[in-house]
């Protein structure tokens, strides 16, 4: 008769599963990168309100095989007893939740075809901005302010007596005595002593302010607002990776401009005409009052459909030039959807403003948000008109 045996080896160096798992995670990252233009404007991320981890659908990670159509969702199951025809045994999560784009991707069945990866928003932001930089970064006075603090980080066997860690020292002593057979605190020797050590931490303080301006006149619809919203969402996240302190001022305008809350900025619409200069004027005043260019990196950005009062255009150009003097970068995004003729503002700017801190982008589609971000934060690319 054959035998049975048993053994126990040291498996602590066994890493194969972890190595292949790491490759799997790299593949997820690659897949996310390929789909960034879609992911960037996903509503469930933009509206995630502080959630740290979001689910991102990835198409390329699914392991495709020849398989039967799953649509009918038929199968053999097993109950706890007494199940009858007509009994409901489960409920499907309703489809398309949190997607809302209305257009499916061609060739994809609803649900099930995606591999959903959980990603940290910070990581996502890092991927989006991986090869992007902050243009025109200037050394601000505040930046040189170093805040020094002390943290105790480590325990060592040598140190000065005033840093003696008494609790650990007693523990070590008892441990040593226990080995000798008497687990008591006695006969303290040098080898029992434990000291706290500390490191000074120096943080560089730096500040940035985004002045988010948006046209809320009648011509700006849901789509335009959503585009602006996704843009600001990522912009703020990007700036937060570069600065300790990022503030945003929301200015909405039609013929008059006012400072509003974030909520109002993205939801409220007004009717009437458009006078863009009112927003720039207000932005300039805010900078003068609260955000001295010597202390702050300033990023004004304006979204509009470009449909400005013609008589106002000249003043706008003047104010943009004025703002360019004090800010790191001025962005103008013109959102154009469908067959509406483009507004005039973009053509005026492209003719009149030639400044390397001025970036103008046109967005026609949700998927344009990502290229627009890249253009805005591209490292020293000459700006195309």
Partner 1 sequence: MSNELDQLRAAIEEIWEFSAANTPLDPFPIHFEIVPPGVMYEIGAYGVPGRFSHWTHGKAFHQMKTMYDYGLSKIYELIINTNPAQAFLMEGNNLTQNKLVIAHVIGHSDFFKNNAYFHHTDRQMAETAGVTAERIRAYEREHGEKVVEEFLDAVLAIQEHIDPNLRVIRKPRDPQPQGPRRSRGTEFDDLWELRKGEEPEAPGAPMRRKIPEEPEKDLLLFLLEYAPDLQDWQRDVLNIVRNEMLYFLPQMQTKIMNEGWASYWHSRILREMDLTPDEHVEFTRLHSGVLSPSPRGMSINPYYVGFKIFEDIERRWNGDLTEKERREYRERNHGAEWPHKGKGREKMLEVRELENDVSFLRNYLTSHLIEDLDMYIYRREGDEWVVVEKDWRKIRDMIVESMTNFGYPYLVVEDGDYRRARELYLKHCFDGRELDQNYALKTLRYVHQLWGRPVHLETIVDEEPTVWTYDGEKEVVEAHAAA
Chain residues in the site for partner 1 (CB under 8 A): 1-9, 11, 14, 16-27, 62-70, 72-94, 107-109, 113
For the CB of residue 120, give the shortest distance to partner 1 in the complex, in Å: 16
Q: How far is CA 37 from CA 240, 307, 358, 366, 374, in A?
A: 21, 27, 23, 8, 11
Report d(CA 76, CA 21) in Å as an integer: 33
Pairing verdict, β 146-156 and 195-204: antiparallel
* CB of 358 closer than 8 Å to CB of 219: no
- Pull the structure tokens for residue 330: 């001025």
* Between 80 and 190, CB nearer to partner 1: 80
* Closest by Cα among 376, 238, 245 to 303: 376
* CB of 233 closer than 8 Å to CB of 125: no
For the CB of residue 97, give the shortest distance to partner 1 in the complex, in Å: 11
H or E element at residue 218: none
For the CB of residue 58, give the shortest distance to partner 1 in the complex, in Å: 12
For the CB of residue 109, give the shortest distance to partner 1 in the complex, in Å: 6
For the CB of residue 65, give the shortest distance to partner 1 in the complex, in Å: 6
* Closest by Cα among 81, 133, 185, 158 to 328: 133
* Between 94 and 289, CB nearer to partner 1: 94
* Between 70 and 245, CB nearer to partner 1: 70
Report d(CA 187, CA 173) in Å as an integer: 8
* Between 63 and 271, CB nearer to partner 1: 63
* Between 2 and 150, CB nearer to partner 1: 2
For the CB of residue 86, give the shortest distance to partner 1 in the complex, in Å: 6
Report d(CA 243, CA 298) in Å as an integer: 12
* Between 62 and 154, CB nearer to partner 1: 62
For the CB of residue 362, give the shortest distance to partner 1 in the complex, in Å: 31
* Between 26 and 122, CB nearer to partner 1: 26
Report d(CA 141, CA 154) in Å as an integer: 34
In three-state secondary structure terms, 55 is: strand
DSSP letter for 265, please: H
Report d(CA 357, CA 297) in Å as an integer: 13
For the CB of residue 130, give the shortest distance to partner 1 in the complex, in Å: 20
* CB of 375 closer than 8 Å to CB of 363: no
* Between 76 and 150, CB nearer to partner 1: 76
* CB of 385 closer than 8 Å to CB of 340: no
For the CB of residue 54, give the shortest distance to partner 1 in the complex, in Å: 18
* Between 9 and 202, CB nearer to partner 1: 9
Q: How far is CA 79 from CA 70, 87, 194, 366, in A?
A: 22, 10, 62, 46
The full length of the chain comes to 385
């Amino acid at each position: 008769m054959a035998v049975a045996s048993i053994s126990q080896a040291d498996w602590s160096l066994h890493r194969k599963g972890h190595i292949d798992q790491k490759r799997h995670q790299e593949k997820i990252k690659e897949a996310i990168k390929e789909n960034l233009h879609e992911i960037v404007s996903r509503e469930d991320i933009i509206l995630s309100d502080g959630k740290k981890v979001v689910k991102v659908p990835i198409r390329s990670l699914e392991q495709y095989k020849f398989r039967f159509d799953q649509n009918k969702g038929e199968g053999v199951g097993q109950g706890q007893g007494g199940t009858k025809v007509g009994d409901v045994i489960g409920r499907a999560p309703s489809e398309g939740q949190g997607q809302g784009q209305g257009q499916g991707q061609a060739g994809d069945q609803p649900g099930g075809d995606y591999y959903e990866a959980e990603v940290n928003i910070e990581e996502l932001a890092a991927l989006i901005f991986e090869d992007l930089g902050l243009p025109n970064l200037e050394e601000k006075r505040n930046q040189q302010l170093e805040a020094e603090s002390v943290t105790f980080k480590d325990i060592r066997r040598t140190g000065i007596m005033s840093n003696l860690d008494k609790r650990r020292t007693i523990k070590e002593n008892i441990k040593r005595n226990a080995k000798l057979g008497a687990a008591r605190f006695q006969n303290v020797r040098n080898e029992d002593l434990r000291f706290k050590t500390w490191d000074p931490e120096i943080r560089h303080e730096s500040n940035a302010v985004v002045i988010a301006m948006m046209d809320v006149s009648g011509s700006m619809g849901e789509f335009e607002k959503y585009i602006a919203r996704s843009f600001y969402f990522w912009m703020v996240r990007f700036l937060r990776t570069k600065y300790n302190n990022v503030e945003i001022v929301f200015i909405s305008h039609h013929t008059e401009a006012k400072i509003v809350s974030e909520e109002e900025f993205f939801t409220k619409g007004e009717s009437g005409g458009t006078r863009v200069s009112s927003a720039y004027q207000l932005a300039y005043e805010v900078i003068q009052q609260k955000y001295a260019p010597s202390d702050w990196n300033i990023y004004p950005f304006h979204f509009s459909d470009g449909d400005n009062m013609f008589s106002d255009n000249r003043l706008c150009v003047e104010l943009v030039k004025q703002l360019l003097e004090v800010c790191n970068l001025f962005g103008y995004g013109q959102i154009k959807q469908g067959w509406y003729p483009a507004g005039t503002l973009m053509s005026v700017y492209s003719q009149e403003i030639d400044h390397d801190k001025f970036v103008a982008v046109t967005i026609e589609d949700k998927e344009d948000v990502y290229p627009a971000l890249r253009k805005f934060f591209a490292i020293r690319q000459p700006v195309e008109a």
